[in-house]
Structure 1
Amino acid sequence: MRGLHTDTGYLLYRLGLRSGQLFNAFLQESGLRLRHYALLRFLATSEGALQRELSSRLGYDPSAIVGLVDDLERLGFVERRPSPDDRRSRIVVLTADGRAFLRDTDEAGRRVTNELLEPLGATERDALHALLQRVAEAGLD
């Protein structure tokens, strides 16, 4: 089974697909998808963000961000507030309910990651994470 499995890019693509499938399956009962979860996770690390910033940071089309924020706002997980720098702009902020949702999903998220990385030992997982983080951060410059 050589061929595609010798291509690192393809392996990363397949791993990404599998990871997305597992995360979407665990999120399904909440009615959310991985894109919602990623947006919430990003907001958990900030004091809020403009929708256009969310689009560029997450790599999603701006029109998709509007729908994701609408969904999360309906659930009470985020809210739009006037930007302190520009009253015409809105920043998206994680609410207490959004933080609670993330806390409630932490264990399920760990289970998904553990299932995905089951063939690796703890040291290998740490090394993989560090390498992927380095590659991802280089791509954000």
Structure 2
Amino acid sequence: MAKRLADDVGFLLSRASGQVLKATNVALAAHGLRARQYAVLALACEAPDGSSQRHLAGVLGLDPSQVVQLVDELVAAGLVERRVAEADRRTRLVVATAEGRRVGEAAGADADAAAEAPLVLLSEGERDVLRDALTRIWTATG
């Protein structure tokens, strides 16, 4: 690898992310999901009362129109449903179905294992440091 690229943190993050994403998508395919769909489903599973599509877009760093498409796909698969928010009838909440919770749990275990595979070169402590550093960057710029 060229020295310039080896020193480029953005390039290295992108390449590492690509490796993790590829492994994760392979694992999620067995559940009929891709990484972005799984992320929406996981967030819906974490919020028993549902999450607004706007909130999902903000957390995932996606355009709201992308989230609408992802939710449409998950609704068609029977994994989530849209409900009207009681506090604001204009807001639609994305809520995991019972099947969505089941698939989300199984897919999550497989996705976690797949995401760890490219990181086997790092010790557990190094993975913790990496996770903490990336979390700080994400939450500071989120």
Do the aligned partners of 2:57 and 2:64 also contact (CA within 8 Å) in 1? yes
Three-state SS of the structure 1 residue aligned to 2:30 is helix
Do the aligned partners of 2:81 and 2:94 also contact (CA within 8 Å) in 1? yes
- How far is the alpha carbon of 1:44 from its aligned partner? 2.6
CA deviations over 1:115-140 (Å, ceiling 9, x no partner): 11010111111111111111111112
Do the aligned partners of 2:81 and 2:96 also contact (CA within 8 Å) in 1? yes
Q: Distance in 2 between matches of 1:58 and 1:114?
A: 20
Aligned residue identity for 2:30: E
Q: Distance in 2 between matches of 1:45 and 1:101?
A: 13
Do the aligned partners of 2:21 and 2:115 also contact (CA within 8 Å) in 1? no
Aligned residue identity for 1:95: T
Please report the TM-score for the alignment, with normalisation by the length of structure 1.
Answer: 0.90
The residue that corresponds to 1:81 in the other structure is 83
Report matched runs for 1:2-81 at 5 Å. Answer: 2-46=3-47, 47-81=49-83
- How far is the alpha carbon of 1:30 from its aligned partner? 2.7
The residue that corresponds to 1:117 in the other structure is 119
Give the stretch that moved more between structures: 95-104 or 44-53. 44-53
Aligned residue identity for 2:109: E
Aligned residue identity for 1:32: L
Gaps of 5+ in 1: none
Please report the TM-score for the alignment, with normalisation by the length of structure 2.
Answer: 0.89
Q: Distance in 2 between matches of 1:56 and 1:15?
A: 23
How high is the sequence identity, in percent, across the aligned residues?
A: 39
CA deviations over 1:5-63 (Å, ceiling 9, x no partner): 11111111111111111111112233321110111122233231111222222111222
- How far is the alpha carbon of 1:106 from its aligned partner? 3.0
State the structure with bigger RCO (CA 8 A, min sep 6), 1 or 2: 2
User: In structure 2, do the counterparts of structure 1 residues 88 and 71 end up closer, same or farther at CA, with 3 Å as the change threshold?
Assistant: same
Aligned residue identity for 2:65: S
Number of aligned residue pairs: 140
Aligned residue identity for 1:8: V
Gaps of 5+ in 2: none
